[in-house]
Amino acid sequence: MRQYLRRIIQALSALLLNGYWYFPISRTIYQGQLKSICCPGLNCHSCPAAITACPLGAIQNFMAEVRVSLEAARYHFGFYVLGWLGIIGGLVGRMPCGWVCPFGLIQDLLFKIPGRKIRIPYIFSYGPYIFLVLTIFILPIWVVDAFGYGFLWFCKFICPAGTLEAGLPLLILQPTLRTMVGHLFYIKVAILFFFVAWSVLASRPFCRTVCPLGAFYSFFNRVSLFRLRYHPEKCTHCELCYRDCPVDIKFYESPNDSRCIRCLVCMRQSCAFGAISWEMGGTSELFVQGRGKGATMK
């Protein structure tokens, strides 16, 4: 039941965050005031239907222009976007990855395609942190052109969400853009197809190996207001939570792991023994129900 609820919320979020359905007629992107708000998930703001800004694109823009801004005495460091993401992270940790992110929904649906499935080695879970530090902060600040402007490294060379949600639709809507297509576009399309194929074989490969936004939220999983609680006295180590987890976490070994996307499948679907519950700011679900004893958190 909870999975259906999550799917409905994911679908509604994707539709609302991409709520500019006039684009087939206007043939361009939404240009209203809502684009001053950053999307909690990964959703390219050049998607014709997008009504919010991409947080990763916004941070990169700040970093890419930080030298020029300082020379012009404009102190823009991306605090607005970082603060906004930090508030969300402080409230619910990585929950937007599991419940709101449109690109996460696409990967979840691709993984539903029947066939042989593979696990992603643990070593790849360091990838998002490397991409976060390098492509979002260091390279846009460090590598600049003759005028002092940096590049949007993640958007330009990697982001498959931008290719899928913005690149392909805009090339269909605006024929003039097709004349500008070069090698870079084909490389990005290849990256997109690589992740689409990988998503059929493994659960959420982009989130687990690349996504810098998930990496940012992951810092908050252990300190967020909303957390999961582990009740060791009820756990039988049956590993059903591990089997069902979309990011391959053994909950009993690492509750509130930084990789956890808070989909709550383990709590609502997998665990039949009540070994997992949630708490909000110290008040637990079980406490509310009058049966909370012996819970541990890491």
Partner 1 sequence: MRKGPFIVICAFLLLCLIGTVSGEVRYVLEKAVSICLDCIGIG
Interface positions with partner 1 (CB under 8 A): 28-33, 35-36, 38, 44-46, 52-54, 57-58, 61-62, 74-87, 89-91, 151-152, 155-156, 159, 162-163, 166-167, 170-171, 177, 180-182, 184-185, 187-189, 220, 223-225, 281-283
Rounded least distance, CB 239 to partner 1, Å: 29
In whole angstroms, the minimum distance from the beta carbon of 232 to partner 1 comes to 20
Q: How far is the CB of 19 from partner 1 (least distance, A)?
A: 14
When the beta carbons of 105 and 166 are compared against partner 1, the nearer one is: 166
- CB-based contact 287:276 (threshold 8 Å): no
Give kind and range of the element (H or E) at residue 223: none
As a dihedral over the C-alpha atoms of residue 151, residue 157, residue 162, residue 163, rounded to 10 degrees, the angle is 140
Q: For the residues of 9-56, what is the DSSP string, one character each?
A: HHHHHHHHHT--TTHHHH-S---SGGGGSBPSS---TTSTT--SB-HH
Contact present, 267 and 278 (Cβ < 8 Å): yes
Least distance (Å) between residue 131 CB and partner 1? 16
Q: Which CB atom, from 223 or from 288, has the smaller least distance to partner 1?
A: 223
Of 111 and 195, nearer to partner 1 (C-beta) is 195
Q: Which residues of 93-105 are buried (b: 16+ CB within 10 A; e: fewer)?
A: bbbbbbbbbbbbb
Among residues 118 and 281, whose Cβ is nearest to partner 1? 281
Give min distance, CB of 28 to partner 1, in A.
Answer: 7
Neighbours of 19 (CB within 10 A): 14
- In eight-state DSSP terms, residue 296 is B
Q: Cβ 126 to partner 1, closest distance in Å? A: 23
Q: Are the C-beta atoms of residues 205 and 198 closer than 8 Å to each other?
A: yes
Q: Whose Cβ is closer to partner 1: residue 88's or residue 245's?
A: 88
> What percent helix, strand, coil does the chain show, rounded to 5?
55, 5, 40
d(Cα 279, Cα 274) in Å, to the nearest integer?
A: 14
**In the complex, minimum distance from the CB of residue 46 to partner 1, in angstroms, rounded to a whole number:** 5
